[in-house]
Structure 1
Amino acid sequence: MKYTTIIVGAIASVTSAHSVSSDANAVVPQLLGGRKFLSEMKARGALPDAAVPAHIEAKREVVERQNTEGRCGPGFGSCATGCCSGAGWCGITEEYCAAPDCLYQYGPGCDANKIPAGASTASIARPKVGSVPYGGAGIYDCSVAGDIALTFDDGPYSYTSDLLDKLAVYGAKATFFITGNNLGKGAIDTTPQWSDIIKRMAAEGHQIASHTWSHQNLSSLDPVTFDNQMIHNEMAIRNILGYFPTYMRPPYSECNSTCGARLANLGYHVTYFDLDTAGYLNPTPESIQNSKNIWDAAINPSNPGRDAFLQIEHDIQPLSVYNLTDYMLASMRAKGYRGVTVGDCLADPKANWYRGNTPTTPTPPTGGLAISTDGTCGATTTCVGSTFGNCCSQYGWCGSTADHCGAGCQAGSGTCTGSQTPPTTPAKPVSTDGTCSSTTTCAGSTFGNCCSQYGWCGTTADHCGTGCNPLGGTCN
């Protein structure tokens, strides 16, 4: 019975990340004990491979919007140009082209089909160095007692810069599993907002890892598309930093045995987690308490003298960034845990985290200001990238405490966190007819807050789960 309980909890924990729940407040069972047992069971093949999510058929008539060529997809064929939406219509806007929903096999313009500039990284040597395993069953837990490896998937996104500010205040490091071109945000290497954030991550000592190019389910891909998902993300990260990572996390945390073998051949450490607070399932001010309860259930009875955790979050979720992260960081400090990268919590030297050119610490964007060398800051000098801390206090001193980063902090001469509020999103018209898109939102409508992949507002799993359009409403 003990082993059965651990296995069930383990499977639920692994498949919960990005998975669909009909109950937005559901607390997914967490793997709090027996972490080594899970890794061993996976290695012995005692746990089944994760299933590929089944296609959810449309239950309502699809309203055609901006249709330029008609239907596309299985049974219909490809669009001559443009994109094939997840609902099977040809079009050219973000609703049709954004990954991961755009049917890239049937639309040449889908974001997933875009290729970063420069030489392919496919021919770069991929020696397997160090003691951390490559591919296979994957990594679920840290090995250094007292460490908590905070990890964030799917970014960078609108909230990631503020997240970096929060980590800086606590002196914590994290690992960012980066997706190259998802959610219609633009490619990371050609969109300066994302390139600058990734440079800042590296400059501030965080670990950069891969979450694939466009967030496709690796277990469902043919070999060529599989390799492209990894290689294209390598190229984009290489274009920004000059090197690319050896650590990755599979989208949806799904990677069957074939997937694990392919990632081993590509020289990747497949990284999962043993603590999932399910922030993505708790996106409201009321429900985020569920995630805090999961965190407390794991951390409060633990002992940093013997325990360690590998935790998962998503920096595309505003409440996870602006509410849950502060709670976790304060808890870690009070309990005596260190906030570290995945590589650090596995005692893997930093030289093993990347391939390509030898990583050097890039200079973070400074807005043209000189970096402080004496701890002072102001109109011509910034704290960003200094050895004193990234925040510039109202009195003109660099540091990383609340006195530097909070009220009165000079945002023009450093980063500020203490008085932050989540960034506002330009107001969108609320749906009055039950339809939704990137320009019309279900949030606040009488039909429900979720926007389905077919462009309808509602509250069911078909609206809020797989394929839900975050640009047109809330999603689970």
Structure 2
Amino acid sequence: MHTNMQKQAPLLQNEQKRICLTFDDGPDLQYTPKILDILDAYGVRSSFFCIGSQVTKFPHVLRRMVRDGHIVANHSWSHPYLTKESASSVRMQLEQTSDIIEEIVGLRPRLFRPPYGDIDDTVSAQVHSLGYDIVLWDVDSVDWSGISGPNILANVLPPLQADSILLHHCAGNVRGTVDALPYLIEVAHAMGYEFVTVDALMGNSAYQLEQR
């Protein structure tokens, strides 16, 4: 499930089929660099929804994401269920994360993914009032559960369609994603898909234009 987007009209024969790889919960030192290496090898640009507390630990990995041409976005400070948080806590989760990202790479994210996809009308209104666009997904790899590469591919490839946003993770027990990613990219390319960043798919800026 993803918001702020509408499905496009049926594709004509020669139209591009665009999809987005997204990675949550990083950066880390175990799997994020391996994923960045694979993306670089295939010339694929992706979108990383980063946790603020992780960014403070591994700022050099965040810098590499930007240097390699990827989008860095906001995934909260400590990955809570936002619908259980107060309004002030929701604001802190978003703004503290964007503050540290901006401090490190000079870019303030405009795109936000709620942890667990946990969102309701109240939280959504708060998020939008702070100037963020919410990005969810429609294809879930379920890689966070520690499943193998073949199982990840079985979750991702059958439901793939134009304008899909794929949910993966770049931290945690996600060895399966590292194993599956090269094959996923190759098969998607063979199926005629082009990988783009989320902002390109949405037709909107990935960053807030007015830096604070």
TM-score range, shorter chain: 0.7 to 0.9
1: CA distance, partners of 2:195 / 2:176 = 16
1:139–1:273 contact (8 Å) kept in structure 2: no
1:147–1:338 contact (8 Å) kept in structure 2: yes
Among 38, 57, 71, the alignment partner of 1:166 is: 38
* Corresponding position of 1:291: 152
Are residue 148 (structure 1) and residue 9 (structure 2) matched?
no
> Which structure 2 residues correspond to residues 364-443 of structure 1 after superposition, within 5 A?
none
* Corresponding position of 2:90: 226
Higher CA-based Rg = 1
Structure 1 residue 268, shift from structure 2 partner: 0.8
* Corresponding position of 1:333: 189
1: CA distance, partners of 2:123 / 2:115 = 12
* Corresponding position of 2:208: 355
1: CA distance, partners of 2:128 / 2:163 = 25
* Corresponding position of 2:102: 238
Letter in 2 for 1:152: F
1:314–1:320 contact (8 Å) kept in structure 2: no
Q: Deviations over 1:219-240 (max 9, x none)?
A: 1111111111111101110110
Structure 1 residue 160, shift from structure 2 partner: 0.5
* Corresponding position of 2:12: none
Q: 1:243 to 1:357 in 2, by over 3 A?
A: farther
Structure 1 residue 357, shift from structure 2 partner: 6.3
Letter in 2 for 1:188: V
Which secondary structure does the structure 2 equivalent of 1:156 belong to?
Answer: coil
Q: 1:175 to 1:294 in 2, by over 3 A?
A: same
Structure 1 residue 327, shift from structure 2 partner: 2.1
Unaligned runs of 5+ in 2: 9-14
Q: Deviations over 1:381-407 (max 9, x none)?
A: xxxxxxxxxxxxxxxxxxxxxxxxxxx
1:141–1:310 contact (8 Å) kept in structure 2: no
* Corresponding position of 1:197: 61
1: CA distance, partners of 2:6 / 2:77 = 25
Are residue 319 (structure 1) and residue 191 (structure 2) matched?
no
1:177–1:210 contact (8 Å) kept in structure 2: yes
> Which structure 2 residues correspond to residues 19-418 of structure 1 after superposition, within 5 A?
138-139=3-4, 145-157=16-28, 158-181=30-53, 187-189=54-56, 191=57, 194-281=58-145, 283-285=146-148, 288-299=149-160, 307-316=162-171, 317-348=173-204, 352-355=205-208
The normalised TM-score by structure 2 is: 0.87
Q: Which has the higher helix share?
A: 2
2: CA distance, partners of 1:152 / 1:315 = 6
1: CA distance, partners of 2:152 / 2:188 = 15
Structure 1 residue 289, shift from structure 2 partner: 2.4
Structure 1 residue 326, shift from structure 2 partner: 1.6
Which secondary structure does the structure 1 equivalent of 2:48 belong to?
Answer: strand
Which secondary structure does the structure 2 equivalent of 1:243 belong to?
Answer: coil
2:48–2:73 contact (8 Å) kept in structure 1: yes
2:26–2:169 contact (8 Å) kept in structure 1: yes
2: CA distance, partners of 1:140 / 1:278 = 22
2: CA distance, partners of 1:145 / 1:311 = 17
Structure 1 residue 354, shift from structure 2 partner: 1.1
* Corresponding position of 1:393: none
TM-align CA RMSD? 2.1
1:147–1:337 contact (8 Å) kept in structure 2: yes
Q: 1:248 to 1:337 in 2, by over 3 A?
A: same
Q: Which segments of structure 1 move beyond 6 Å, counting only runs of 4 or more?
A: none
Q: 1:254 to 1:248 in 2, by over 3 A?
A: same
Structure 1 residue 284, shift from structure 2 partner: 4.2
Letter in 1 for 2:55: I
Which secondary structure does the structure 1 equivalent of 2:101 belong to?
Answer: helix
Structure 1 residue 145, shift from structure 2 partner: 4.6
1:153–1:176 contact (8 Å) kept in structure 2: yes
2: CA distance, partners of 1:346 / 1:220 = 29
Which secondary structure does the structure 1 equivalent of 2:158 belong to?
Answer: helix
Structure 1 residue 250, shift from structure 2 partner: 0.1
- The percentage of aligned residue pairs carrying the same residue is 27
2:144–2:174 contact (8 Å) kept in structure 1: no
2:74–2:112 contact (8 Å) kept in structure 1: yes
1:212–1:250 contact (8 Å) kept in structure 2: yes
Structure 1 residue 141, shift from structure 2 partner: 6.5
2: CA distance, partners of 1:170 / 1:354 = 25
Structure 1 residue 169, shift from structure 2 partner: 1.1
